[in-house]
Amino acid sequence: MTAHIIDGVALGTAIRHEVAEEAARLKARGLVPGLAVVLIGEDPASRAYVGSKEKACREAGMHSVKITRPAATTEAELLAIVDQLNQDPAIHGILVQLPLPQHINTEKVLHRVDPRKDVDGFHPVNVGKMVSGDPTALRPCTPWGVIQMLLRSGIETRGAHAVVLGRSTIVGKPMASLLIQTGPGGDATVTVCHSKTRDLPAVCRSADILIAAIGKPEFVKRDMVRPGAVVIDVGINRVDDPSLPKGYRLTGDVAYAECVEVASAISPVPGGVGPMTIAMLMANTLQAMQQRT
């Protein structure tokens, strides 16, 4: 068996085209969705990610604002920036790029964002709405992108046993919450695994849908995947590789070359969940504007 490759680039592009079409209709009425991204410091990965978001905004016909500040920016200065964006009527979505410097309280900053503009879906108001099944929730982009990936690939979640490997507040916990919601993309029976889970390989082998978000390169091996299972790899890790010009390669949390031979469908890294995350950020920004007009 060789797995069907779930193409996150193609799926993400389709979603971004849908967003761009709706944005064009809104623009004809004089309405332009606006996204502000705040970047503190010079982290190369963060800068590259912010650049991708800017490009996606332009292609979607959205208003884009990037605010960059040095790593020495104080917490009070960052909170003042957030307050200003909260009051700006041209901005419908605010994203504070993580990670923040250690001297800044990340939770305090994320909680300061107006929940109506919280396109990352991290504010407690949106978390509560998501858990309760409120459709006005702005859902975290990565797990929401995984749901869309499953839906658009024709993968049935209803009645399936989904195992989520990882319990982070960014991916693992919201992923589980979305999978147990009523309706398309939900109605799954969900097990969340973590470092204290007993006989982790056996639990993973019980999955119809295995979602890896543990942050450990190639952690999921062939013997952890039930033949015919769907494997979604959320991880993205840099692994040293002197044979390559950059000196490293990107890999997920799944040993792809092994697991592609036993899974029925699998998402690659890169080219899987990553493009879906960007696409759902655009979709969330559009949703945030529509809910304010």
Of 53, 117, 129, 173, the active-site residue reads: 53
Catalytic residue among 114, 120, 208, 253: 120
- Counting beta carbons within 10 angstroms of the beta carbon of residue 19, is it exposed (0 to 12), middle (13 to 18) or buried (19 or more)? buried
| Residue type (1 letter), 95 | L
DSSP class of residue 91 equals -
| Strand boundaries in the chain, DSSP class E | 4-5, 34-40, 63-69, 93-96, 161-165, 189-193, 209-212, 230-233, 237-240, 248-251, 265-266
- Nearest 10 degrees: CA dihedral of 251, 96, 64, 52? -10
Active-site residue, 53 included: yes
Q: Structure tokens of 13?
A: 């592009």
Question: Which residues are annotated as catalytic?
Answer: 53, 97, 120
